[in-house]
Amino acid sequence: MSEFLNKKEKKEVIKDIILKLHSGMTLEQAKEKFEKEAGSVTPSEIADIEQSLINEGMPVDEIKKFCNVHALLFESSLSGLITDTESNSHPVYLFKLENREIEKIIKSLRELILNKSGIGLEDFRVKLKKSLTELKEIEWHYTRKEHLLFPYLEKYGFMGPSKVMWGKDNEIRNLLKISIAEIEEIDTEIKIEIYLEKYIDPLIEEIEGMIFKEENILFPTSLEKLKLNDWIEILKESEEIGYSFIEKPPETSHLISELKASISEEPEIRDTSTIIFPTGELKLKELMLVLNRLPADITFIDKDDTVRYFSDNKDRIFTRTRSVIGRKVQNCHPPQSAEIVEKILSSFKDGRRNHADFWINFKGKLIYIKFLAIKDEALDYIGTIEFTMDISELKNLEGEKRLFNEEDQSN
């Protein structure tokens, strides 16, 4: 009869569980008691009940004792959603929802081209640029696919998408970038036709082809190979990247916020001991905080080309998700640059080079990228550090600055 409990009765069950947890009840016992006595519960109900308990004077630290059970309950709630691929909280459903929005933009592009003779050249250029600029939001769709779906598929030995599809994604990105840049060159009717044939027709064809590949190959394969926990992690980590063209369904927002609330934000420190260096000493937590505070992104790749660590800088330049840990670094880059990464690592291993430097323009910033070979005292190669930094402001520095100003930002 637990399914007929009202919110007040569920609150009493949860309060009792919290108190019993404090007295020594195990998590499994707490979960069993909850499921038996309270039944199902929604994310919003949990939030309302917890707030009610706080309002009644129960200390927040006491309520946090329920968090581990809370997490188990919502993993269970997610299970019901994730096993249903038509659920509007399933990652595949969200990918498909984005594809439907992409198709709407493509349709409007086709209609604009079809009716171009009925509007002036300048109006055509303005509307074309508006549609193409809107289409740039496709970036988050492709980035989630590349940094979340691909790593999990690789874990099950399915390497094709990261080897081929990522390259096609980049072709679309490049076509879109060039299409926008070349709009200003359209100043005659003849140039319109040349522009459409050279840029827009291939762009539309590639985007529609990618939708077909995703929905007929990538997504069915992913559903076949990935396990429940993989989809849960993908759903959680999607928050870090963002969505294209859609608002997250309310159910997804509630579930993710509850899962995050139920998992401590404090990073796991497995060993609290102090690390002794020749030049000083740091506790593990201090070291972690130092690395995360550096004004640069750091990634460590071991001697077997496996990603083992990345700094968790809140202003990261390039996307990194935790699914990258344990992944071969060559697979973390699109095919166009994977070959370059392989050449750099090979040159480090055979001793021909100790570093490789690059700088690129990325989203309006000048980005400096440095690969550094890490070797031990015997000069044996143990891995590589990839160091990435925004040097846009640094390149404009002139003269000197010797004084501290109060108006200096303290980010």
pLDDT at 76: 54
pLDDT at 1: 40
Using a 10 angstrom Cβ sphere, with 0-12 exposed, 13-18 middle and 19 or more buried, the burial of residue 165 is: buried
Say what the alpha-carbon torsion angle 147, 148, 154, 160 is, to the nearest 10 degrees: -70
Fill in the amino acid letter for 239. Answer: E
Class of domain 91-243 (CATH, top level): mainly alpha
pLDDT at 259: 54
pLDDT at 10: 74
Question: Minimal CA–CA distance to 199: which of 183, 179, 172, 171?
Answer: 179
pLDDT at 65: 54
- Which CATH architecture does the domain made up of 296-396 adopt? 2-Layer Sandwich (3.30)
pLDDT at 401: 82
CB 2 within 8 A of CB 36: yes
Taking the chain (411 residues) in runs of 10, the rounded mean pLDDT of each run is 62 76 76 75 58 69 56 52 62 93 96 87 91 95 94 84 83 94 89 93 93 88 86 83 84 60 52 81 88 91 93 82 85 80 93 92 90 92 94 87 65 57
pLDDT at 255: 61
pLDDT at 203: 96
Single pTM value for the model: 0.67
Q: How many angstroms separate the CA atoms of 302 and 373, rounded?
A: 10
Question: Minimal CA–CA distance to 369: which of 347, 396, 340?
Answer: 340
Q: How many angstroms separate the CA atoms of 386 and 36, rounded?
A: 51
pLDDT at 264: 44
Q: How many angstroms separate the CA atoms of 396 and 391, rounded?
A: 9
Place of tokens 């095919």: 335
Question: Minimal CA–CA distance to 29: which of 64, 72, 58?
Answer: 72
Long-range contacts of 325-332 (CB under 8 A, 24+ apart): 326/155, 327/151, 327/154, 328/154, 329/299, 329/301, 329/305, 329/384, 330/305, 331/150, 331/151, 331/154, 331/159, 331/162, 331/163, 332/307
The values of phi and psi at residue 305, to 5°, are 70, 25
As a 3-state breakdown, the chain gives helix, strand, coil percent values, each rounded to 5, of 60, 10, 30
pLDDT at 326: 87
CB 190 within 8 A of CB 182: no
The values of phi and psi at residue 388, to 5°, are -130, 130
Fill in the amino acid letter for 269. Answer: I
Q: How many angstroms separate the CA atoms of 329 and 323, rounded?
A: 12
Query: For the chain, what is the largest distance between any 2 Cα atoms, rounded to a whole number of angstroms?
Result: 81
- Dig out the tokens for 220 from the structure: 């069915």
Q: How many angstroms separate the CA atoms of 110 and 116, rounded?
A: 10
Using a 10 angstrom Cβ sphere, with 0-12 exposed, 13-18 middle and 19 or more buried, the burial of residue 214 is: buried
**What residue segments make up the domains of the chain, in order of their start?**
2-82, 91-243, 296-396
Place of tokens 């980590």: 237
The values of phi and psi at residue 385, to 5°, are -105, 130
Question: Minimal CA–CA distance to 98: which of 238, 288, 303?
Answer: 238
Q: How many angstroms separate the CA atoms of 139 and 234, rounded?
A: 17
Place of tokens 């496996």: 306
